[in-house]
């Protein structure tokens, strides 16, 4: 990451980790921009950053495994392989494995993150285009939603209501991209199992 981003992440992480702020004041706002020339590529930028260089680049591919690949400064730092029959997305990040378990009944996908503990991405109730990040106590720590930027239709925004470090920031980006790819458009929380079945045939 650039010095600007590293300093910003360090400053945010100096506060208490995993203590959510009011939703109106997210600590991080991260923009996900699909590439105009390659629909498989998404660049991730910190909102309002003066640095045009993306934090991360993500490549998502349904018909090849791993299905989601995370790059930083041109190097692969993690990837996700969607489940076949065990309903577990295999997340590999910085040389470590983080199984993300998919629930076909509730639509949530849970994993364990360093320091942060058990987290889950879950479709928001009554908001089909949004998925929320919650901890094991049900506290909402973030959300992934349309960016609502004038003149754009496909950009997404990740809002985080807690301070985190550079390591977990990358892990959250990778897991939300993997989770979002497996939630049907228009959302049907219980339909995640249908997507899993479709991926299983790849």
Query: What is the Cα–Cα distance from 113 to 71, expressed in whole angstroms?
Result: 19
Report the mean per-residue pLDDT for the chain.
79
Write down all domains in the chain, each with its CATH number in brackets.
3-200 (2.40.160.200)
**Residue 200 — pLDDT band, cuts 50, 70, 90?**
very low
* Interval 93-103 mean pLDDT: 91
**Residue 98 — pLDDT band, cuts 50, 70, 90?**
very high
Looking at per-residue pLDDT, the higher value among 64 and 149 belongs to 64
Residue in 41, 44, 20, 49 with CA at minimum distance from that of residue 32: 44
Q: How many angstroms separate the Cα of 39 from the Cα of each of 35, 36, 78, 99, 114?
A: 6, 7, 20, 26, 31
pLDDT at 161 over 60: yes
- pLDDT score of 142: 94
SS3 123: strand
0.85 exceeded by the pTM?
A: no
Q: List, in sequence order, every residue forming a beta bridge with 160; answer none if it has no partner.
A: 28, 142
């Amino acid at each position: 990451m650039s010095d600007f981003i590293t300093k910003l992440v360090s400053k945010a992480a100096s506060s208490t980790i995993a203590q959510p702020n009011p939703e109106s004041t997210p600590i991080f706002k991260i923009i996900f921009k699909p590439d105009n020339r390659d629909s498989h590529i998404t660049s991730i930028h910190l909102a309002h950053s003066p640095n045009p260089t993306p934090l991360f680049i993500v490549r998502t591919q349904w018909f090849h495994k791993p299905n989601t690949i995370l790059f930083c400064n041109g190097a692969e730092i993690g990837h996700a392989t969607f489940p076949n029959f065990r309903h577990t997305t295999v997340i590999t990040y910085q040389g470590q494995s983080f199984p993300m378990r998919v629930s076909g009944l509730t639509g949530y996908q849970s994993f364990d993150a360093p320091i942060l503990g058990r987290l889950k991405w879950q479709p928001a109730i009554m908001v089909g285009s949004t998925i929320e990040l919650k901890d094991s106590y049900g506290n909402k720590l973030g959300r992934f939603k349309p960016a609502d930027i004038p003149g754009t239709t496909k950009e997404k925004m990740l809002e985080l209501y807690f301070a985190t470090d550079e390591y977990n920031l990358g892990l959250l980006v990778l897991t939300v991209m993997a989770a979002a790819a497996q939630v049907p458009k228009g959302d049907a929380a219980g339909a995640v199992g249908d997507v899993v079945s479709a991926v299983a045939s790849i």
